[in-house]
Amino acid sequence: MKARLGAVLFGIGFFAVVVAAGVAFYVAPSAARLPYDLKLCTPQVTEDCLKPSVAEAKNARFLYTEGGANPVVKIETGTVRSTTEIQPLADTTDKELDGGTIDDNTVIWKAYGTGTWVEQNKVLTAYEARLAVDRKTAAAVNWPGQQLDDVAKVQGSTASTPDPVTFTGQLYKFPFGTEQTTYQYFDRDVKKAFPIEYKGTEDIQGLETYKFVQVIPETPLAFSADRIKSLLGAFATPDATSGQVVYSNTRTIWVEPVSGTFVKVQEQQSKKLVPNVGQPTALLEGDFSYTDETVTNSVESAGANKSQVLLISRYLPIGAAVFGALLLIIGLWMVTTARKPVPAKHAAGGKHEEITEPVSVEKSAG
């Protein structure tokens, strides 16, 4: 009975070790990849979805414009709210997979961004982007359908002007298993990726994060001649005949390293009109930072993603392997100890003691 039970335990242990290997090599890699069926959070969809990220810059200086019969171009001061939403495009991903323009390691996303003057509830800027993202690294993948549209550049205008763009580097997420190294991060204003350097580890609401900092030096932006002319007419001296808009930004991102989720983002943005004659004019000066609600939502989301990835990629295979190894050892021990040794007196070459029954002999009467 002991040997039979040991054999059963040995078999279960072997099965557990096989399961551990299967989870580690086949299931775990899929846990650390962006799924195809992610959804944007809406009033109808509130779970397992992507919530908007909101950052605000208080006491910011910014350019405000209005179109119409009496156009307005002036500098205002107030709170600017920047909202970013990510909508995974599952149908587009399937279509592009079927067409062979992407492989199964890629998903298609649509990103929306708006800048709003909070006190007046007026949209200052807006953009829409379509891009292909690697499911493991979350870096941009070259895709013919990528585009970046800036809309609502002037109040009252709904025109959308696609800009040529080639997305590279990280944009809205860092890789699963983010490392303490330098990455390339894409800047939407310059339409180019710049290095973003690892600067240390910090805890945010009890969650460990990696801190990355990107410094974009003063860089001229590709404004059209008409936009430059309009800005010069509003802010430059009459003798200014040309100019450029110069942009700089110091971007700090705190990333949960297991899932690569953004936990907190800060940006110190500056845009100024630099005419060929006269003094520059600040078109944007603002220190943007995630709102407390966005940070809390990000901590909760990143913590849940981290737990899921660690459970499938680490705890489950290690636990199954340890459990299986213990059962293998116990089962093997039970099988081997269940076999009783042959007594020495019955061993080969030993002496055997003969046992004879007494025989009674009856004598017959003579």
* Domain residue extents for the chain: 1-31+307-339, 32-290
Instruction: Report the residue count for the chain.
Output: 366
User: Which tens digits make up the pLDDT trace of 46-68?
Assistant: 677 788 999 999 999 999 988 77
Specify the pLDDT at position 20: 47
CA atoms within 13 A on the CB side of 59: 0
Specify the pLDDT at position 211: 98
pLDDT confidence band for 363 (50 / 70 / 90): very low
Beta-bridge partners for 255: 210, 262
Report the percent of the chain where pLDDT is more than 70. Answer: 72
For residues 94-119, give the mean pLDDT: 93
Contacts of range 293-298, beta carbons closer than 8 Å, 24 or more positions apart: 293/54, 294/51, 294/52, 294/53, 294/54, 294/55, 295/204, 295/205, 295/263, 295/264, 296/205, 297/51, 298/53, 298/261, 298/262, 298/263, 298/264
- The model carries a pTM of 0.79
Specify the pLDDT at position 295: 96
Specify the pLDDT at position 321: 59
User: 149 near 157, Cβ under 8 Å?
Assistant: no
CB atoms within 10 A of CB 307: 13
* Helices 2-22 and 316-337, packing angle to 10 deg: 160
User: 273 near 283, Cβ under 8 Å?
Assistant: yes
CB atoms within 10 A of CB 161: 10
Specify the pLDDT at position 42: 74
User: Helix, strand, or coil here: 18?
Assistant: helix
For residues 90-109, give the mean pLDDT: 92
What residues contact residue 282 under an 8 Å CB cut-off, 6+ apart?
61, 75, 270, 271, 272
User: Which tens digits make up the pLDDT trace of 294-312?
Assistant: 999 999 988 887 766 656 6
User: Which tens digits make up the pLDDT trace of 179-225?
Assistant: 999 999 999 999 999 999 999 999 999 999 999 999 999 999 988 88
- Look over the chain and give the mean of its residue pLDDT values, rounded to a whole number: 82
Report the percent of the chain where pLDDT is more than 90. Answer: 56
Specify the pLDDT at position 361: 47
Specify the pLDDT at position 365: 43
Specify the pLDDT at position 41: 78
pLDDT confidence band for 152 (50 / 70 / 90): very low
Q: Where are the alpha helices (DSSP H) in the chain?
A: 2-22, 28-31, 90-99, 225-235, 292-310, 316-337
Map tokens 């042959």 to a residue. Answer: 342
Q: What is the DSSP string of 169-223?
A: SBSS-PPTT--SS-EEEEETTTTEEEEEEEEEEEEETTEEEEEEEEEEEEEE---
* Pairwise CA distance, residues 298 & 330, whole Å: 45
pLDDT confidence band for 137 (50 / 70 / 90): very high
pLDDT confidence band for 153 (50 / 70 / 90): very low
DSSP state at residue 350: -
